[in-house]
Amino acid sequence: MNGVVVIDKPQGLTAHDVVNRVRRILGQRSVGHLGTLDPSATGVLPIVTGSLTRLAQFYTHSEKVYEGVIRFGFATDTYDAEGEATTPPCAVCLDIDQLRALAADFRGVIEQVPPPFSAKKIAGVRAYKLARKKQEVTLKPVKVEIKELEILEVNDDRARFRARVGAGTYMRSLAHDLGQRWGCGAHLASLRRTAVAEFVIQDAHTLDELERAIRQGSAEDVFVHPRKLLLQFPSVTATDENLALIRAGRAVNLPELSRAPLVKVFHGQRELIAIASRVAGTLFHPGIVFSR
């Protein structure tokens, strides 16, 4: 089975756990995901299967949208609710206008230090492995982009937010940094991802729903229609003559798409057979062939 399905990841599972579950449901090994998600977080986790696992290279820089809750009053070592407190708790009185003004300082391209409990490597070792052993973790700041950050409401010591961010942004670090700037410490209390690139929560399915669809033979009801993938690339349906050439990895003329640098090539309505790149003029080369 070659396709993409958007899973609504439940709390408590890692992205790898979800991949393993999908492997069992589909009965195939070739399964991957488009962007990891912390075990405590829920929401959009696009899963790629079969030959379409090769699509992952086009989603490494995808923007993401989150909704969540930041708890002010103390920081934790993991920067979320799963960790141990690293600052003494203190009473907090949040002012939504002041908090919105503070959030505005974080919009744009900023430097952010990843959490100590993260997959970043230090001398070849994952940071979280060092942190679990109580060893010192010193990570360098990286540039990330926070395109939108909106404080939706405050309630006692908690602030609900929505954020649209570029690839590599840690929402746990954002919560931690906001707490430092507020002067009382803070951590990420909950997080839900509502979008990754073109994949949105409204199109997501639970693992149970996927399993039921496969059992009933209605996989097309839950898998993303292939023509909705990589919306930034135009689509073309190959002629029978071009189809054979493309599957053989040979260049073809696609005059109606001569201005596009990359195009999706289909056989019929649903079978994505290749991503082709423009060589010159109207000549396109199938750099990635999914179906031969």
Where in the sequence numbering do the catalytic residues fall?
38
- Judge contact between 205 and 222, C-beta under 8 A: yes
Q: How many CA atoms lie within 13 A of 222 on its CB side?
A: 26
Residue with token string 């930041």: 70
Torsion over CA of 167, 71, 18 and 119, rounded to 10 degrees? Answer: 50
HSE toward the beta carbon, residue 22, CA cutoff 13 A:
33
Beta bridge pairs of residue 108: 146
